[in-house]
Amino acid sequence: MKRSPLNLYVAAALVAILLIVAFNTVYTVPQTEQALVLQFGAPVKVVEKPGLKFKLPFIQDVTYIDKRVLGLEGAAEEVITSDQKRLLVDSFVRYRIVQPLKFYQSVGSDRMAQERLANSLNASVRQVIGQVPLQALLLPERDQLMARIQDILSQDASGFGIKIIDVRIKRTDLPEANSEAIYRRMQTAREREAKQYRAEGAAIATQIRADADRQRTVILAEAEKTAQILRGEGDAERAKILAAAADKDPSFYIFYRSLQAYRQALTGDHTTLVLSPHSEFFRYLNGIPDHAGDAAAKEKGKAR
């Protein structure tokens, strides 16, 4: 018996309808997600356990919500501390969706949830940091500030079905204009300090030079005084020796004094003396015998 084409078409249509119904009846829930079953757009069931699940075809839809730990990095915001210091604060938050139904009813999607959470994070950071001075962000109090921000943010996020796991401030920097102004102030302060050190060094150097000059003057004066004393003593000893020599041998003394006169008078290349060649000054240069001197000495001895 031969089947008619109409029966084949009907059978194929029934199979296709069954497949479509089955496809719209069965759905799977991954381990990293949780499912929210909607009926005509209204949530009717939350499915948290993973596996193969069933729903009413064409009437119910399934939307999936991530149940892993998610992260949100807030944009760098300018915050004013209690001591009127402007800071650029860059923060981030880690969270998890723990109430899918409340999450869907309050924010509806991940994009909207992150926008609402970013606004709450920014407000919480401003509220906490605006109550403390800049120094508090550099001390161990920083962890307490993070805990306060997390508490405030958790209160806001609980209304979205979100649990806040951690909040951290990654970086706190001064705005570029403030950084340049602080750098210029630091540079001016260092230049002023360097000038002060140079001035103090110049004053100390001047004092040291003055002390050295004074000590040099004193040392030279003492040395000159000692030299004058030694010269005087030497001259006295010399005069004493010469007087003794003159008394012991007058002729030799006259000869010695003549040689000294020659040495002092006949110096230089252009020395000129206008004297008689028979004068007593040239006595030893002209080879005059020494008897005249001896006779004079004898006459001197007789007179005594």
Per-residue pLDDT 10s for the chain (304 aa) are: 455 676 777 777 777 777 777 677 888 888 889 988 888 878 888 888 888 888 888 888 888 888 899 989 877 788 888 877 778 888 889 999 999 888 988 888 888 888 989 899 888 888 888 888 877 777 777 788 888 989 999 998 988 899 999 998 887 776 666 556 667 778 888 888 899 999 999 999 999 999 999 999 999 999 998 999 998 888 888 888 877 777 777 777 777 777 777 677 666 666 666 666 666 666 666 654 444 444 444 444 444 4
User: Are residues 74 and 24 located together in one domain of the fold?
Assistant: no
Q: Is the backbone of residue 269 left (phi > 0), alpha (psi -120 to 50) or beta?
A: alpha
In a domain, residue 19? The reply is yes
Supply the pLDDT for residue 258: 73
In a domain, residue 240? The reply is no
In a domain, residue 28? The reply is yes
User: Are residues 60 and 77 located together in one domain of the fold?
Assistant: no
User: Are residues 48 and 107 located together in one domain of the fold?
Assistant: no
User: Are residues 283 and 304 located together in one domain of the fold?
Assistant: yes
Last residue of a domain, one of 157, 174, 191: 174
Alpha-carbon distance of 121 to 95, in angstroms, equals: 12
Supply the pLDDT for residue 211: 92
In a domain, residue 135? The reply is yes
Last residue of a domain, one of 127, 144, 174: 174
User: Are residues 50 and 98 located together in one domain of the fold?
Assistant: no
In a domain, residue 234? The reply is no
Report DSSP letters for 22-33, one per residue. HHHHEEEE-TTE
Does pTM top 0.95 for this prediction? no
User: Are residues 90 and 167 located together in one domain of the fold?
Assistant: yes
User: Are residues 60 and 90 located together in one domain of the fold?
Assistant: no
Supply the pLDDT for residue 273: 63
In a domain, residue 211? The reply is no
In a domain, residue 60? The reply is yes
2 DSSP assignment: P
User: Are residues 90 and 159 located together in one domain of the fold?
Assistant: yes
In a domain, residue 238? The reply is no
Q: How deeply is 219 buried, as exposed, middle or buried, from its count of CB atoms within 10 A (0-12, 13-18, 19+)?
A: exposed
Q: What is the dihedral of CA 248, 253, 254, 258, to 10 degrees?
A: 180
Report DSSP letters for 276-290, one per residue. -TTSGGGTTTTT--T
Specify which residues 166 forms β-bridges with.
94
Supply the pLDDT for residue 279: 62
- Reduced to 3 states, what is the DSSP secondary structure of residue 173? strand
Q: Domain tally for the chain?
A: 3
Range of the domain at 139: 70-174
Supply the pLDDT for residue 179: 58
> Is 161 in contact with 100 (CB distance < 8 Å)?
yes
